[in-house]
Structure 1
């Protein structure tokens, strides 16, 4: 049997808003779309568990240079909590550890419990997580049966709200449908685990879907199936699914530089000019094209940090650009 032809990768810059399916890890989903697009360089921003679906921003080429900013962005999720059962992974993919009866609960009781988990709070991440210790993910240690101690850390939960308790209150399944809006580093699995303990019965995540990630508040998502269908018709239609790199840069304040200043930055030199605000910024030319990321010091001097290839004195090989 002949082997399938090897993928011939190409330079490609842009951002894909992928609708990750249930059952794939974020890296598995990334590799599928990377091969569909034949992208030489790709990375995702903010892992989703295999159980979870929804928005997974995938950065191709030069867009990987801004991926760190998207990792720290505000996010929103829809979640279904299954009350009465605690699992080792805090979701439905794990092994049950303990089962308890679900007490009679009112909407007011549930809302009060949700309120205690809202705001600036301390959270203990799941032991089955991608957090690393000693260069190794915690889930790898947990799967070997090692005792894993996870320290609490501060997180921001902007909203944790009940969408529906009809399943529970109508004597059906003990499910709560919830909406979560949170900051970087928050584990929805841990939120629902802690909610279950406050309610006195335990809980785990039965379903989870990421709705949006800043700055993509109303995303047009692409499924892998839709992308495969487009790929069969040619790469022009596939490339049209990508957003330009600039679309992911709303998290940084913008500064504009002229051609002479851009030339200095491209050689790694700082530029004086009373730039503001102080801190990390997105650098643009007068035409609105992003040149990369920089840093403004206390004296208003702009220094380059991560410039895109087209802003550098010796650019990389030509890449497919998203209009």
Structure 2
């Protein structure tokens, strides 16, 4: 039985991506499990990496940039003394150096990476040059010049250093490549380094306690598909989806009366009555508390729609 035409989900799934598969491969499996029409993800993870991969369904895909732009947290283990082609253990070793550092050396070096820094993206990345991802050039031995990017490391917390293995957590802005960060740390320590373990613990307002695994989803799907019970599949899987408004929990809430709510959904600007919050706000319909989208309020109280969530 084909359920595809009836599976219209809307929301955000916080998937615990398994190791050894690409983010896109995981996405295709999610499509099959959910029989979903429209699905995307925010913030790609390397095949080596595990952890939080926000998967967006239906109308939630319109809001993916807000998660992409949000702060992330990672748990990292790096091996000092070896540099690899890819910056992680999937690539061949380029150089081996002796490791003559101690914990004090490491903690002092890590302090230099906190705050605003500049980073050159790795060749093995999905950044495009002339419409082609850099990793495709890298695979055939072509190196493309890359410009430095400005980013912010909010926190870099040392955990331990044992037998050339350095473990730490990092809280960072969008656009941060952990492989490049580890490479730069290894260069500062004069011994080289590469990533052997990477797990994303947080994206924006979401934390790792909210994750669901692929195996759990496969189990639920198998349980009900054998009974050809499409309603149970939909209802059960739907319980794992978070509302789109949850992306913006840190922003103030603004409620609109019926006429203003309709105008907002028509992409019209609205003047708010005092008191009002300036900046980015969550917009709801006052009557039934339905989420309408995201708007930006200026100092004059003018609410301008930024991303509309049609109901």
TM-score by length of 2: 0.90
Residue 225 (1) aligns with residue 215 (2): yes
Q: Using the TM superposition, name which of 140-149 and 154-163 deviates more.
A: 140-149
CA positional deviation for 1:101 = 1.3
Shift of 1:78: 0.7
46-55 or 287-296, which deviates more: 287-296
- Output one character per residue of 1:156-189: Cα deviation in whole Å (capped at 9) or x when no partner: 1011122111x32xxxxx2111111111111111
Shift of 1:304: 2.4
| In 1: Cα distance, 2:30 partner to 2:147 partner | 35
Provide the C-alpha distance between the structure 2 equivalents of 1:298 and 1:142, rounded to a whole number of angstroms: 49
Q: 1:91 to 1:218 in 2, by over 3 A?
A: closer
Q: Distance in 1 between matches of 2:206 and 2:144?
A: 35
RMSD over aligned CA atoms reads 1.8
The corresponding residue for 1:283 is 283
Which consecutive residues of structure 1, in runs of 5 or more, have no partner in the other structure? 169-173, 311-323
> In the comparison of the two structures, how many residue pairs are matched?
299
Q: In the alignment, what sits opposite 2:230? A: none
Alpha-carbon distance in structure 2 between the residues aligned to 1:297 and 1:62: 26
Instruction: Provide the C-alpha distance between the structure 1 equivalents of 2:241 and 2:128, rounded to a whole number of angstroms.
Output: 31
Q: What TM-score, normalized to structure 1?
A: 0.87
Q: Is the 8 A contact 1:246 1:289 kept in 2?
A: no
- Counterpart of 2:27 (choices 24, 27, 30) is 30
Deviation at 1:252, TM superposition (A): 4.1
Q: Does 1:41 align with 2:43?
A: no
1:74 aligned residue (46, 50, 71): 71
**Greater share of strand residues, 1 or 2?**
2
Match of 2:307 in 1: 306
Equivalent position of 2:258 in the other structure: 259
Matching residue of 1:13: 10
Is the 1:131–1:138 Cα contact (8 Å) retained in structure 2?
Answer: yes
Q: Look up the match of 2:177.
A: 187
Instruction: Report runs of 4+ in structure 1 exceeding 6 Å deviation.
Output: none
Cα deviation code 1:179-227 (max 9, x no counterpart): 1111111111111101111111100000100111111135321111110
Question: 1 CA distance for matches of 2:41 and 2:209?
Answer: 16
Alpha-carbon separation, structure 1, partners of 2:175 and 2:121: 9
Quote how far apart the aligned CAs of 1:273 are: 2.0
Contact 1:7-1:35 within 8 A present in 2 as well: no
Cα distance in structure 2, aligned partners of 1:89 and 1:6: 41
User: For residue 160 of structure 2, what is the aligned residue in structure 1?
Assistant: 164
1:92 aligns with 2:82: no
